[in-house]
C-alpha cells in the first residue's frame, strides 16, 4: 500500500500558496496580538514540545526563557509536575498541554497542578490516543485512550483558566471542541502522526468557517519562516506554533530561541508590509494565490 509522508505533503502545500504584492499605501505593520485577554508581541508561539534536555541542558526552561524574551505565548508538552513548576517559574506566559491519559485522575491532577504553578491556560493533546498498531496508545509507559465530548467538557469545567484542544484537523472536532467550552484549538497533525493526513493549512479555512470567532485558532506543524506564518494568518489563524525550526537555535539556549523568533517576526513584517496589511487583525486571504501550474 502506497501512502504519502504527511510532513512532505504539508511542505508541498505551504509552497503551493503564492503571495501577490501590493506596495502602494503599505507600511511597517504592528504584529502584536491578544490571546485570552493578554497581549503578546507576536503571533508566533512556541509549540508544545517535551524532553528538550536532549537538545540542551535544562532545555525546557531555556525554551521558556526564549519565549519570555520575545513576548510570545509558550506551550509545554509532557513534563513531570516538579519540572513544570520550574518551567513556569521562568515567568513566560505558559500553557500546559496534557496527554489523553486513560487514568482520569492523572488528567485532573495535572490540570490542577499546572494552574497552581501559574499556567495561563491548559489543554489536551487529543491525537495521541490511538497507536500506529491499531490499539490504544501508550506514551512512555503511560496508557492513553480516546476521549468523548462529555469527558472533554469535564476537563474544561475543571480548569479555572482557558482550555485548549490540540490535534484538531477536522471541522467536526473543531465544533465539538467549541461545544465543550474550549477557548482555543490547535490545528495540527502532530508532525505526521499518520501518513497521508491533510495539511493543517489545507483544512484551516474550512475549520475557520465551522467555528467562526467562537474559539481562537492556533496552527502548527512544519512552520519554518515568517512567510509560512503569514500564510496561516491570512487563512484565518490567530496564532502559529513553531517547534522544530527552533531546535537548532535552542542549542544556544534561550537567546537562540529569542533570536530565531525575532528573525521570523522580521520576515512576517516584510511580507505583511509588501501585501498591504498593517496589523494582524486586518489580515485575510486576498493576497494569496494558489498554484495550479
Task: Give pLDDT, residue 145.
Answer: 98
- Please say if the pLDDT value at position 2 is more than 90: no
Alpha carbon 98 to its chain's center: 14
pLDDT digits (tens, 9 = 90+) for 161-195: 999 999 999 999 999 999 999 999 999 999 889 99
CB 164 within 8 A of CB 184: yes
Gap between the Cα atoms of 182 and 175, Å rounded:
10
Please, which residues have CB within 8 angstroms of residue 112's CB and are 6 or more apart in sequence?
158
Name the average pLDDT for the chain. Answer: 96
User: Strand ranges (DSSP E) for the chain?
Assistant: 17-19, 33-35, 38-40, 44-49, 74-76, 94-98, 121-125, 138-139, 142-143, 163-168, 184-187, 216-219, 239-242, 288-290
Task: Give pLDDT, residue 1.
Answer: 44
pLDDT digits (tens, 9 = 90+) for 87-104: 999 999 999 999 999 999
pLDDT digits (tens, 9 = 90+) for 20-43: 999 999 999 999 999 999 999 999
CB 84 within 8 A of CB 76: yes
* Predicted model pTM: 0.97
pLDDT digits (tens, 9 = 90+) for 38-73: 999 999 999 999 999 999 999 999 999 999 999 999
Task: Give pLDDT, residue 4.
Answer: 84
Taking the CB of residue 2, how many other CB atoms lie within 10 A of it? 5
Please, which residues have CB within 8 angstroms of residue 136's CB and are 6 or more apart in sequence?
102, 129, 130, 143, 144, 145, 146
In angstroms, what CA-CA distances link 53 with 49, 125, 165, 176, 254?
11, 21, 26, 35, 13
pLDDT digits (tens, 9 = 90+) for 225-255: 999 999 999 999 999 999 999 999 999 999 9
Domains assigned to the chain: 6-290 (3.20.20.70)
Amino acid at each position: 500500500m502506497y501512502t504519502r509522508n504527511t510532513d512532505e505533503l504539508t511542505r508541498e502545500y505551504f509552497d503551493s500558496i503564492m503571495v501577490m504584492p501590493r506596495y502602494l499605501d503599505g507600511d511597517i505593520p504592528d504584529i502584536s496580538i491578544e490571546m485570552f485577554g493578554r497581549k503578546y508581541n507576536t503571533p508566533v508561539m512556541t509549540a508544545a514540545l517535551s524532553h528538550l534536555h536532549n537538545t540542551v541542558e535544562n532545555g525546557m526552561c531555556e525554551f521558556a526563557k526564549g519565549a519570555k524574551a520575545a513576548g510570545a505565548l509558550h506551550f509545554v508538552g509532557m513534563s513531570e509536575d516538579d519540572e513544570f513548576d520550574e518551567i513556569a517559574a521562568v515567568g513566560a506566559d505558559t500553557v500546559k498541554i496534557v496527554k489523553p491519559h486513560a487514568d482520569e485522575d492523572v488528567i485532573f491532577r495535572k490540570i490542577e497542578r499546572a494552574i497552581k504553578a501559574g499556567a495561563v491556560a491548559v489543554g489536551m493533546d487529543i491525537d495521541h490516543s490511538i497507536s500506529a498498531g491499531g490499539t490504544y496508545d501508550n506514551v512512555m509507559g503511560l496508557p492513553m485512550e480516546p476521549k468523548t465530548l462529555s469527558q472533554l467538557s469535564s476537563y474544561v469545567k475543571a480548569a479555572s483558566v482557558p482550555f485548549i484542544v490540540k490535534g484538531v484537523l477536522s471541522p467536526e472536532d473543531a465544533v465539538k471542541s467549541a461545544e465543550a467550552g474550549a477557548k482555543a484549538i490547535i490545528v495540527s497533525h502532530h508532525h505526521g502522526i499518520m501518513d497521508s493526513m491533510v495539511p493543517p493549512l489545507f483544512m484551516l479555512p474550512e475549520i475557520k468557517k465551522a467555528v467562526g470567532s467562537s474559539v481562537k485558532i492556533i496552527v502548527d506543524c512544519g512552520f519554518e519562516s515568517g512567510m509560512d506564518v503569514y500564510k496561516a494568518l491570512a487563512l484565518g489563524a490567530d496564532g502559529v506554533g513553531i517547534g522544530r525550526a527552533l531546535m537548532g537555535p535552542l542549542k544556544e539556549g534561550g537567546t537562540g530561541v529569542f533570536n530565531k523568533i525575532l528573525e521570523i517576526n522580521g520576515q512576517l513584517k516584510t511580507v505583511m508590509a509588501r501585501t498591504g496589511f498593517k496589523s494582524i487583525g486586518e489580515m485575510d486571504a486576498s493576497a494569496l494565490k494558489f498554484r495550479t501550474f
